[in-house]
Amino acid sequence: MSMMTNLFSVFDPTTSVGMSFNWLAMTLGLLIFPTTKLVGSSRITNMYMMLFKSLNKEISPILLLENKVTYIIFLALFFFILWNNLMGLLPFIFTPTSHLVITLSLALPLWLGYFSYGWIYNFKNMLAHLTPQGTPAFLSPFMVVIESVSSLIRPGTLAIRLMANMIAGHLLLTLVSETINIFSFSSAVVIVVLQILLIILEVAVAMIQAYVLVVLSVLYVSEI
What pLDDT does residue 36 have? 58
53-75: per-residue pLDDT in tens?
Answer: 788 777 777 776 556 667 778 88
What pLDDT does residue 15 have? 47
What distances in angstroms separate CA 148 from CA 113, 129, 138, one per listed residue? Answer: 17, 9, 17
What pLDDT does residue 132 have? 72
Instruction: Report whether pLDDT(2) > 80.
Output: no
Question: In sequence order, what are the residues at sequence separation of 6 or more whose Cβ sits closer than 8 angstroms to the Cβ of residue 221?
Answer: 63, 67, 70, 114
Q: What is the pTM of this model?
A: 0.78
Higher model confidence: residue 41 or residue 5?
Answer: 41
Confidence of residue 3 (pLDDT cuts 50, 70, 90): very low
Confidence of residue 4 (pLDDT cuts 50, 70, 90): very low
- Mean pLDDT within 192-209: 86
What's the gap between Cα 168 and its chain centre?
14
Nearest Cα to 211, choosing from 115, 101, 74, 73? 74
9-58: per-residue pLDDT in tens?
Answer: 555 555 444 455 566 667 776 676 666 555 556 676 777 778 777 887 77
- Mean pLDDT within 207-215: 89
111-152: per-residue pLDDT in tens?
Answer: 888 888 888 888 777 777 777 777 777 777 888 888 888 888
Confidence of residue 86 (pLDDT cuts 50, 70, 90): confident
| Domain coverage including residue 88 | 2-222
87-118: per-residue pLDDT in tens?
Answer: 878 777 777 888 888 888 888 888 888 888 88
Half-sphere exposure of 174 (CA within 13 A, CB side): 19
The count of structural domains within the chain is 1
What's the gap between Cα 78 and its chain centre?
8
Rounding to the nearest 10 degrees, give the CA dihedral for residues 131, 136, 142, 147: -20
Please, what is the angle between helix 100-121 and helix 71-87, to 10°? 170
